[in-house]
Structure 1
Amino acid sequence: MELSACIEWQFAEGNDNLADRVRAAKAAGLGHAEFHLWRDKDIAGLAAALAETGVNLTGLCVDPRRSIVDPAQHEEMLQAVADTLAVAKTVGSPPLIVASGFTREGVSPEEHKAEAIKVLRRAADLAEAAEVTLVLEPLNDRVEHPGMYLVDTALALDIIEAVASPRLKLLFDVYHSHVMGEDMRTVLAGRIHLVEHVQVADSPGRNEPGTGTIDWPAAIETLRDLGYAGALGLEYRPTMEATASLMATRAALGV
């Protein structure tokens, strides 16, 4: 498994823009990077740095974030997908991360799920035409993101299966799943083919692997046993200088 730096948070020391963080990640021996929202970023500069270094993006977020469960936001959500697909073409067409939005008070679980499936089918049509993959990300509502609708990996996979598009997959974040008390093997067994990308951070704290309580050798072994061979996104907040942080993370993950 290769590592992907979250340049939203990593390699930030002395590097005010994403382009320089890409160069710093490359200098540290990494060939992959990812970040969050794009509208406030210098995308042209980032594209130049990616071309210069050969670094590959493993993800960025659909921007702005809009709800998949609130039909009042669906047209804005689809426009955000279309806009982000256009931008993605300039930076290598990486997977685009979709968050769910918040639970609607007084609305049944069945209606929430139906609305999510409905709009994600339309979004997947856009992604298929652009030959770009959307990745649906469950978050946690116990530490961050109170009120978030999609906090259950099994539900996310059910929605993905219902949409039934080759361009809609899962972003599995070990940190969020751990916070929600999930067993990784249980929730991913038989459905690892739907996982496009995996992100890591330790719990508690959301810092480097090895700083918290997650059993990383067991987690990595489980991912390998299930058949995941993609990149590991380092979506953690570093507690030390970039080189030391990366060394500690490699040691904890064993990669």
Structure 2
Amino acid sequence: MFKLAVCAEMIFRSLPFVERVRRIAELGFQVEIWDWTKHDLTELQQTGATFSSMTGYIEGDLITESGAQTLLKTAAHSIDAARRLRCPRLNLHGTGLDGHGMPVKPMPAVTGPMWLAALHTLTRVARLGQTAKVVFCLENLNTTVDHPGVPFARAADTMALVKAVDSPNLRLNLDLYHAQIGEGNLIELVRDALPFIGEIQVADVPGRCEPGTGEINYPAIARALAQAGFRGTVAMEAWASGDDELALRRFRNAFSV
């Protein structure tokens, strides 16, 4: 029913990174990676894995002209890396994140001019994606637990921007872990967002571990997605609560409808 992917940054962490990728692929999942500059792309190619998504920029932001120029430049480099890995989706955030997930430029408030600047930058990103035949996905984040200070963080924010740009080359990376912390009402959220989704990411709350370890009823969400006609990629971006392979079985079971 769905294509299932697993984030190699968070699973099988006792293994070297390339071995994590290989093991995830051997178990029948696609593979998500984060900052591609930290990995040997040739080694990743040689694993034979199918890659679902990767970070689509290295530096920059959506709201300043210098930040936008930097984001577009590093997005172009990311497209080159994505071509090597045959990765169809490139992930974006409201601002650059440091190595600990904190915003490089935290924002106490987002103003009207910032919204207009973000819309302009994302329109340029979508044109870049159209030319390169890739899809950029704007991810929602939570500002309560993991990413305080990130602008345009809520799913409502990312959806508003993607709708306004109105391009098939800019879609949502709808992260349901972040949405549960920030907004809740997940089944209605996925139904509303369905026309704009490029990929869905999942982890349970609290703890950011695999489905079935917290409060989110992921089998119900999977049924709602199936009934709505979603046939795309669902990626587990979560820590294993214990055994890694057991965590992946729980993920697969939650989305087997």
Q: Do the structures match in fold with TM over 0.5?
A: yes
Q: Letter of the 1:36 partner, please give it.
A: W
* In structure 2, C-alpha distance between the alignment counterparts of 1:56 and 1:215, rounded to whole Å: 28
Question: What is the match of residue 10 of structure 1?
Answer: 11
Gaps (5+ residues) in structure 2?
Answer: 96-104
Identical columns (%):
27
Q: In the alignment, is the contact (CA less than 8 A) between 1:11 and 1:242 conserved in 2?
A: yes
* In structure 2, C-alpha distance between the alignment counterparts of 1:178 and 1:204, rounded to whole Å: 10
Cα-to-partner distance string for 1:131-152 (whole Å, 9 max, x where unaligned)? 0100000100010000111222
Give runs of aligned pairs for residues 150-165 of structure 1, distance below 5 A: 150-165=152-167
Question: What is the match of residue 29 of structure 1?
Answer: 28
Shift of 1:103: 5.4
* In structure 2, C-alpha distance between the alignment counterparts of 1:95 and 1:225, rounded to whole Å: 24
Shift of 1:217: 1.9
Question: What is the match of residue 145 of structure 2?
Answer: 143
* In structure 2, C-alpha distance between the alignment counterparts of 1:135 and 1:24, rounded to whole Å: 26
Instruction: Classify 1:186/1:248 alpha carbon distance in 2 versus 1 (closer, same or farther; 3 Å).
Output: closer
Instruction: Classify 1:186/1:251 alpha carbon distance in 2 versus 1 (closer, same or farther; 3 Å).
Output: closer
CA RMSD in angstroms, aligned pairs only: 1.8
SS in 2 for 1:39: helix
Cα-to-partner distance string for 1:85-143 (whole Å, 9 max, x where unaligned)? 111110003200001115545652x2221111101111111111110100000100010
Question: What is the match of residue 42 of structure 1?
Answer: 40
1:57 corresponds to 2:72? no
In the superposition, the TM-score normalised over structure 1's length comes to: 0.90
* In structure 2, C-alpha distance between the alignment counterparts of 1:125 and 1:202, rounded to whole Å: 34
Aligned residues: 247
Q: Letter of the 1:81 partner, please give it.
A: A
Cα-to-partner distance string for 1:35-58 (whole Å, 9 max, x where unaligned)? 1111111111101212xxxx3211
Q: Letter of the 1:16 partner, please give it.
A: P
Q: In the alignment, is the contact (CA less than 8 A) between 1:17 and 1:42 conserved in 2?
A: no
* In structure 2, C-alpha distance between the alignment counterparts of 1:82 and 1:59, rounded to whole Å: 15
In the superposition, the TM-score normalised over structure 2's length comes to: 0.89
1:213 corresponds to 2:210? no
Shift of 1:6: 0.7
1:167 corresponds to 2:169? yes
Shift of 1:221: 1.8
* In structure 2, C-alpha distance between the alignment counterparts of 1:227 and 1:97, rounded to whole Å: 23
Instruction: Classify 1:203/1:107 alpha carbon distance in 2 versus 1 (closer, same or farther; 3 Å).
Output: closer
Which aligned segments of 4 or more residues in structure 1 are displaced greater than 6 angstroms?
none
SS in 1 for 2:35: coil
Question: What is the match of residue 93 of structure 1?
Answer: 87
Shift of 1:69: 2.4
Give runs of aligned pairs for residues 62-211 of structure 1, distance below 5 A: 62-101=56-95, 102=105, 104-105=107-108, 108=111, 110-211=112-213
Shift of 1:184: 2.3
Shift of 1:254: 4.0
Gaps (5+ residues) in structure 1?
Answer: none
